[in-house]
Amino acid sequence: MKHCLFFLLSALPAVAAPQVYDLVVYGGTSAGVTAAVQARKMGRSAVIVCPDKHLGGLSTGGLGFTDTGNKKVIGGLSREFYHRVWLEYKKPEAWKWQQRGEFGNRGQGTVAIDGEMRTMWIFEPHVAEKVFEDFVKEHRIPVHRDEWLNRAPGRGVAKKNGRISAITMLSGRTYRGRMFVDATYEGDLMAAAGVQYHVGRESRETYGEQWNGVQVGVLHHGHHFGAVKKKISAYRVPGDPTSGVLPRISTEPPGEYGAADRKVQAYCYRMCLTDHPANRVPFPKPAGYDAGQYELLLRIFDAGWRQGFRKFDLLPNHKTDTNNHGPFSTDNIGRNYDYPEASYARRAEILREHEVYQKGLMYFIANDPRMPADVRQRMNRWGLAKDEFVDNGNWPHQIYVREARRMMGKHVMTENELLKKRPTPEPVGMGSYTMDSHNVQRYITPEGLVQNEGDIGVSTRGPYQIAYGSLVPQKAQCENLLVPVCLSSSHIAFGSIRMEPVFMILGQSAATAAVLSLDAGLAVQDLPYEKLRTRLRADGQVLSAPPYIFKPPAHLAGIVIDDTQAKLEGNWHPSTSSKSFIGKNYQHDGNKDKGKAKAIFEARLKPGRYEVRIAYTPHANRATNAPVTVHHGGGVTAKRINQRRKPSHDGATESIGVFEFENTATVEISNADTVGYVIIDAVQFIPASNSK
């Protein structure tokens, strides 16, 4: 009987065991591709499972005018991507609608910076997509497209002993893995796995930040109605509240300054436009078009505003990456609040509403007879690029999800790390772009005027490090998941981190950690950082900023320490409002939080006597008694300077005195017991024999 059973079983067809991948990447974004490529480069199996049909996310979805910041801190596969873009544009066939010489060297790195790995940071969507497709083809990475995670509780994510074992799609397909990466813009896998996250803005108090929370009264980029010469009423009949409110203005109160809310910054599509007649498709009139939605725009143009074309950033072949610009533009303010956690059906409704709004906006500007003739004529030169997004009516396949869920992981990145107010633990990559939030809401002021809120642009004062702990959940929630896109970050810090080159950096670092954790049989939270750092550096990741060399103006002798080199405590605000300053900007204390702001300038000097001079920009609103403390060989000297008075040396610097220094000189400037704005710009140390 046993022999019969044996022969019966052996005659049955063999059934292959379900494949278990070393790394399952959910999401076909730029971070998802670099994560899968890195796993393969480390000898492990990987699969990309994604709801996307096109790889690359926003990098192939219209954002071809790359937001980079300091390119020197972009390394690894992220830099290789931009090198491969450069290689594509070396091919003569890449220049179909324009001569290469006509476009010139826009967006290209230099030999001095790049060395042999030349880069190009400005590109057409289809070129970026080819690079990503080449990546997965060369590394033999299977890509399962149009696969949507089953987000029903208990249906899409199988977990055992604190680890994900498999994820299941709406199609019924199941993908088993040892390690997982959520590379989506929405954080769907993270959320379905039970990982804690946040949506919206935290308050200023949550993480001790200056720039988080509601930003009523803060006007930065000119994307607000203060940039319009004429005041704009929010009502259908100007000045008459009984006439009703114009479309796309909220009647809800905006909230208190610095308070938390559940709102997210506006989304838009990064359109690829062209003014080349042979490749131009006139702006289509979308189904559901309603000219009444753009009444507010008419008032803005009637007030003389004409800056709408400033963000038609040029790409090769007479194309653009067209982004939001101005108080009423492609950003669909206030229509995306429920998107991060919405069902797939609701998200589709939101995307459709954004598409109709934005297509309608372009059609309105180009065709409505009420538009100023000069604007209408100029807009009619442009249209959609016929050879881009050819399977989607020449419309981008990816909306700009500037912010959705954000994990609350092992470490939360905040503005304090970005501004170098405190060190970043266990860095796995770097960012450097401005902390940038687009508008969050459009509301009515007490005077009945329309106003945008939420637009922020704050310098990070140079590159900053991103912590490994921001890529991993708290251990009790999941031990084998990494999240390089919806990472653990406050709203305002995410405004800088959210750039595509950084997502690629973090995707590579996440996969590196996943493989090393798999090799060691560890939870991702327990991976020894030294081992991770060694591998990241070997693979070209940049984990610390290159030495910063400040070159002062030629008329400043001696050694000059700029405000960007100072160690800052408390809240300092970069500014360029005054006409004359040293370096890229100066900073002020906002005339707030007196006694809490301090700037420490340190210089390495040869032993000897030096004159110390303080640089500041004078104005009638400055402090008359800004405290300056000099630590020198003879002890400590404290003085106060009147920053309303023009500095005595060339109108740039004020002398504090001559001091003996040994090896290190330290000068502190604070805002203790001051009335008025305290300014920091630079500190100058001049050998006494040279001072005049």
Q: What is the DSSP pairing of strand 174-182 with strand 20-26? A: parallel
Q: Provide φ and ψ at 465, rounded to 5°.
A: -95, 155
Q: Is it the case that residue 690 has pLDDT exceeding 70? A: no
**Cα torsion 615, 617, 619, 623: sign:** negative
Q: What is the pLDDT of residue 691?
A: 54
Mind listing the pLDDT tens digit for each residue in 254-276? 999 999 999 999 999 999 999 99
Q: What is the pLDDT of residue 16?
A: 46
Q: Is it the case that residue 11 has pLDDT exceeding 80? A: no
Which tops the pLDDT comparison, 574 or 426?
A: 426
Fold of 559-687: Jelly Rolls (2.60.120)
Report the mean per-residue pLDDT for the chain: 93
Residues spanned by CATH 2.60.120.260 within the chain?
Answer: 559-687
Q: What is the pLDDT of residue 225?
A: 86
DSSP of 654-684: EEEEEEEESSEEEEEEE-TT--SB-EE-EEE
Q: What mean pLDDT comes out for the span 54-77?
A: 95
SS3 638: strand
Q: What is the pLDDT of residue 41?
A: 98
CA distance 513 to 179: 10
Q: What is the pLDDT of residue 567?
A: 83
Residues spanned by CATH 3.50.50.60 within the chain?
Answer: 20-199+427-538
**Is 683 in contact with 661 (CB distance < 8 Å)?**
no
Q: What is the pLDDT of residue 585?
A: 85
Category of 102 on φ-ψ map: left (φ > 0), alpha (ψ -120 to 50) or beta: alpha
Q: What is the pLDDT of residue 555?
A: 72
Residue with tokens 């000097």: 605
**Is 300 in contact with 249 (CB distance < 8 Å)?**
no
What are the tokens at 348?
């589709």
**Is 656 in contact with 627 (CB distance < 8 Å)?**
no
Q: What is the pLDDT of residue 344?
A: 98
Q: What is the pLDDT of residue 550?
A: 54
**Cα torsion 577, 583, 584, 586: sign:** negative
Q: Provide φ and ψ at 584, rounded to 5°.
A: -85, -20
User: Which residues are CB-contacts of 117 (< 8 A; sequence separation ≥ 6)?
Assistant: 79, 80, 83
**Is 320 in contact with 97 (CB distance < 8 Å)?**
no
**Cα torsion 26, 27, 31, 36: sign:** positive
Mind listing the pLDDT tens digit for each residue in 109-150? 877 678 878 999 999 999 999 999 999 999 999 999 999 999
Mind listing the pLDDT tens digit for each residue in 620-641? 999 999 999 999 988 999 999 9
CA distance 214 to 455: 10
Q: What mean pLDDT comes out for the span 60-83?
A: 95
User: Which of the four pLDDT bands, split at 50, 70 and 90, describes residue 334?
Assistant: very high
Neighbours of 580 (CB within 10 A): 14
Q: What mean pLDDT comes out for the span 523-532?
A: 98
Q: What is the pLDDT of residue 552?
A: 63
Q: What mean pLDDT comes out for the span 644-659?
A: 91
Q: Is it the case that residue 503 has pLDDT exceeding 90? A: yes
Cα 683 from chain centre: 32
SS3 169: strand
Q: Which among 54, 52, 49, 36 has a CA at the least distance from the CA of 138?
A: 36
CA distance 497 to 272: 24
Cα 600 from chain centre: 29
Helix ranges (H only) for 488-528 are 491-497, 500-520
User: Which of the four pLDDT bands, split at 50, 70 and 90, describes residue 1?
Assistant: very low
- Considering the domain 20-199+427-538, what is its CATH architecture? 3-Layer(bba) Sandwich (3.50)
Q: What is the pLDDT of residue 217?
A: 86
Angle, helix 76-88 to helix 500-520, in steps of 10 degrees: 130
CA distance 400 to 398: 6
User: Which of the four pLDDT bands, split at 50, 70 and 90, describes residue 573?
Assistant: confident
Q: Is it the case that residue 2 has pLDDT exceeding 50? A: no
**Cα torsion 232, 236, 241, 247: sign:** negative
Mind listing the pLDDT tens digit for each residue in 401-456? 999 999 999 999 999 999 998 999 999 999 999 999 999 999 999 999 999 999 99
Q: Is it the case that residue 549 has pLDDT exceeding 80? A: no
Q: Is it the case that residue 547 has pLDDT exceeding 50? A: yes
Q: What is the pLDDT of residue 218?
A: 83
SS3 639: strand
Cα 107 from chain centre: 19
Q: What is the pLDDT of residue 433?
A: 93
